[in-house]
Every structure is written in structure tokens, then in C-alpha cells.
């Protein structure tokens, strides 16, 4: 009997030693990891996502509602009816995927020049990033602009910039872009287009990046309107034909809440042709 008790005590002691050893080993590993500066698994923070038009963070805010986005304080009356082929024969359009849609579906691609790229922003233009393909290589928007001669320059930038949450920085950079465009095309009339609103509900349903909302569009348009008040440019509002009674992009003219159906691009083109200034 005594022998059995001794055996059980020895087994218990061995188990205790194994358990203590495992605890000491894990403690030593924890200290070593802390000393190396590496965060422990429980302390690893998720990085803040960098907004981009093609990749949206998981977080999605509640649907934004409110007043229509800002418009120019006094919009000029519609201009005379113009022949698109004549009016746009010396025009160039600079913009993002929306402008590319205008090129594809607006019925003016054979008349005007287009310097557009999906994801284009005022920051890429300002930084002279080589995004425009010409032949076998890519050049910056401003370099490509300087190689031509134009009487009209249409600028439509801002949707991709919403992810920076910085209307003031957007307007400041836009100002430099306007100055750079004027320096390369001193005889051209510059048309600055306010950001056309989106359809909030359709954007959320289609997985459009969470930061593209009409509230953001309104904030950015307000900053752009203030900037253009001090510059010799023609500021164009969003085409009212594209908007519903609440100031949002009409659901029947959009594919994903941000881009347009072919008929939407035709309405945009007609608005530009009705608002001309020499």
C-alpha cells in the first residue's frame, strides 16, 4: 500500500513539474518578444485603411442624407445652341472614369481630345504622375496637355479625392492644377465642373467605397466654388437633368450610384453644350 502511495505521489510531482515548466517557457517567450519590440498578438492593431476608388474599407457609415450638394451661387443662363462638332473641335476633357465614360458614350470622342484615366485625381495631375498613354509610353496629364493646342479645357475631378476627407487640401491642389493648365494653354477658356452628385443608396448597394457620399460631394463642391471665385474660369454646376428632386443622381441614369448609363452621359454632354462661354 505504501508503495502505491509513493508511486502516485511521484506521478503527481512529475505532472506539477511539467506544468510549471510550460508556464515558465511561455513567460520566457513572452519576455523575448516584448524585448524585440514586436507587438503581442492581442495588442496588434488593425492598420487604418488608405482610401482608394478601387478598395473600400469594411466600415460603412449610415446613409447620408441632407440638402443637395452646393451649386455655384449664380449659374449663367444657357448659352446659344452650338454645333457640337464645331464647338468641341478645339476642346480637351481632363478627368477620371466619369470623363472616360463621356468619351465612350457622349458621342463626342471623334471631335474633342480626352486626357482621362480611371482613378485620376487632382493630386496625380499636380504631381505630374505619368498616367496618360501616348504610343508606347505614359506621360503626365500636364505634359500631354502641353503638346497640343486647345481653345477650351474642361476639368472634372473630385470623386476619387473624397477618400482623403480634406476639402481644403483638394481646393488648394485644384488651384495649382488650374494655374498649370493656364500656363500650358494660355489662350484657352477653362471650364471647371463641380462634382456631379451620386446616388447614396445605389452606392451602398453596389459596394462603392464608403467615403463616396453626397455629403462629401457637397463639402468638396463648396471648397471648389470658393476657389473658383478668385480665378478666371467658368464654373459649371452639376447638370440638373441628371438629378432628382432631392439633389441626388437619378437612379435611372446610374449603374452603380456614381457612374452613368449612356443616356446619362448624353445629358451631361447636352448640358455642357448649353453652357458655353467664349
pLDDT string in tens for the chain (278-residue length): 565 556 555 556 665 555 555 555 454 444 444 343 333 333 333 333 344 443 333 223 323 333 333 444 444 444 446 899 999 999 999 999 999 999 999 999 888 999 999 999 999 999 999 999 988 899 999 999 999 999 999 999 999 999 999 999 999 999 999 999 999 999 999 999 999 999 999 999 999 999 999 999 999 999 999 999 999 999 999 999 999 999 999 999 999 999 999 999 999 999 999 999 86
Crossing angle of helices 214-228 and 167-184, in 10° steps, is: 50
Q: Where are the domains of the chain?
A: 91-274
Q: If one looks up domain 91-274 in CATH, what number appears?
A: 3.40.50.1110
What was the pLDDT predicted at 81?
67
What was the pLDDT predicted at 59?
29
What's the longest Cα–Cα distance across the chain? 114
Contact criterion met (CB below 8 Å) for 220 and 179: no
What was the pLDDT predicted at 18?
58
Crossing angle of helices 97-105 and 262-274, in 10° steps, is: 90
What was the pLDDT predicted at 25?
47
Say how far apart CA 51 and CA 163 lie, in whole Å. 5
Task: Report residue 145 as a C-alpha cell.
Answer: 496637355
Name the one residue in this structure whose C-alpha cell is 510531482. Answer: 13
* Alpha helices per DSSP H over 91-166: 97-105, 122-126, 141-146
Contact criterion met (CB below 8 Å) for 158 and 177: no
Say how far apart CA 122 and CA 29 lie, in whole Å. 50
- What is residue 259's DSSP assignment? S
Name the one residue in this structure whose C-alpha cell is 500500500. Answer: 1
Pairing of strands 234-236, 152-156: unpaired
Amino acid at each position: 500500500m505504501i508503495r502505491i502511495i509513493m508511486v502516485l505521489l511521484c506521478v503527481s510531482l512529475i505532472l506539477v513539474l511539467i506544468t510549471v515548466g510550460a508556464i515558465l517557457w511561455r513567460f520566457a517567450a513572452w519576455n523575448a518578444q516584448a524585448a524585440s519590440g514586436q507587438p503581442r498578438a492581442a495588442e496588434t492593431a488593425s492598420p487604418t485603411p488608405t482610401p482608394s476608388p478601387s478598395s473600400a474599407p469594411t466600415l460603412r457609415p449610415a446613409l447620408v442624407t441632407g440638402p443637395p450638394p452646393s451649386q455655384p451661387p449664380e449659374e449663367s443662363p444657357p448659352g446659344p445652341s452650338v454645333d457640337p462638332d464645331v464647338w468641341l473641335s478645339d476642346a480637351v476633357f481632363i478627368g477620371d472614369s466619369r470623363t472616360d465614360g463621356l468619351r465612350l458614350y457622349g458621342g463626342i470622342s471623334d471631335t474633342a481630345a480626352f486626357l482621362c484615366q480611371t482613378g485620376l485625381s487632382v493630386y496625380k495631375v499636380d504631381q505630374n504622375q505619368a498616367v496618360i498613354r501616348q504610343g508606347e509610353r505614359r506621360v503626365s496629364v500636364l505634359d500631354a496637355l502641353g503638346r497640343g493646342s486647345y481653345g477650351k479645357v474642361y476639368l472634372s475631378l473630385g470623386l476619387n479625392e473624397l477618400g482623403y476627407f480634406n476639402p481644403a487640401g483638394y481646393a488648394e491642389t485644384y488651384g495649382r492644377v488650374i494655374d498649370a493648365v493656364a500656363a500650358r494653354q494660355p489662350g484657352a477658356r477653362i471650364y471647371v465642373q463641380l462634382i456631379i452628385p451620386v446616388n447614396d443608396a445605389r452606392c451602398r448597394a453596389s459596394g462603392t467605397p464608403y467615403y463616396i457620399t453626397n455629403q462629401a460631394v457637397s463639402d468638396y463642391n463648396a471648397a471648389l466654388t470658393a476657389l473658383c471665385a478668385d480665378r478666371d474660369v467658368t464654373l459649371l454646376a452639376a447638370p440638373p437633368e441628371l438629378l432628382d428632386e432631392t439633389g441626388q443622381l437619378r437612379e435611372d441614369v446610374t449603374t452603380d450610384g456614381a457612374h452613368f448609363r449612356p443616356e446619362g452621359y448624353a445629358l451631361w454632354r447636352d448640358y455642357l453644350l448649353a453652357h458655353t462661354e467664349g
